[in-house]
Amino acid sequence: MIVVLIIVEITSLILISGIYPESHTSFKIGIIASLFILLGIKIMMPTFFVPISVTLIAVNFLYNFYSNNKRRKGAFRRIKKKASRF
C-alpha cells in the first residue's frame, strides 16, 4: 500500500507541478520522503508503523483538501518567472 501511495504521489506531482506553487511541490516531496521513511520504520520498528502511517495519510488528505479548495478560489497560483534581460 505504501509503494502504491508513493507511485500515486510522484505521478500527481509530475502532472500538476506547473499549476501549484513551489510550496506545494516542497510539501509533496516531503510526503514522498516520509513514505519512503515509513518503509524503513515498518522493518525496524513495526509497532510505530500503524500510528505514523495513519498520521501521515491524514495530514496528506487534509492538505489535499486545503490546497484544492484554495486553488478553486484562485488564491493558490504559481509565480510566473520573468524573462531575464541581458
CA-closest candidate to residue 10, choices 23, 25, 57, 78: 25
Q: How many domains does the chain have?
A: 1
**What is the overall mean pLDDT for the chain?**
84
Q: Could you tell me the residue range of the domain that residue 6 belongs to?
A: 2-72
pLDDT band at 72 (very low <50, low <70, confident <90, very high): confident
Query: Would 68 be classed as within a structural domain?
Result: yes
Cα within 13 Å of Cα(10), Cβ side: 11
Nearest to 63 by CA among 35, 33, 36, 23: 23
Tell me what the mean pLDDT of segment 66-80 comes to: 74
Residue 85 lies in a domain: no
Residue 79 lies in a domain: no
Q: Is residue 63 part of a domain?
A: yes
In percent, the amount of the chain with pLDDT more than 90 equals: 28
Residue with the bigger pLDDT between 1 and 38: it is: 38
pTM for the model = 0.76
CA distance linking residue 61 with residue 66, whole number of Å: 9
State the Cα–Cα distance between residues 20 and 68, nearest whole angstrom.
10
pLDDT score recorded for residue 82: 65
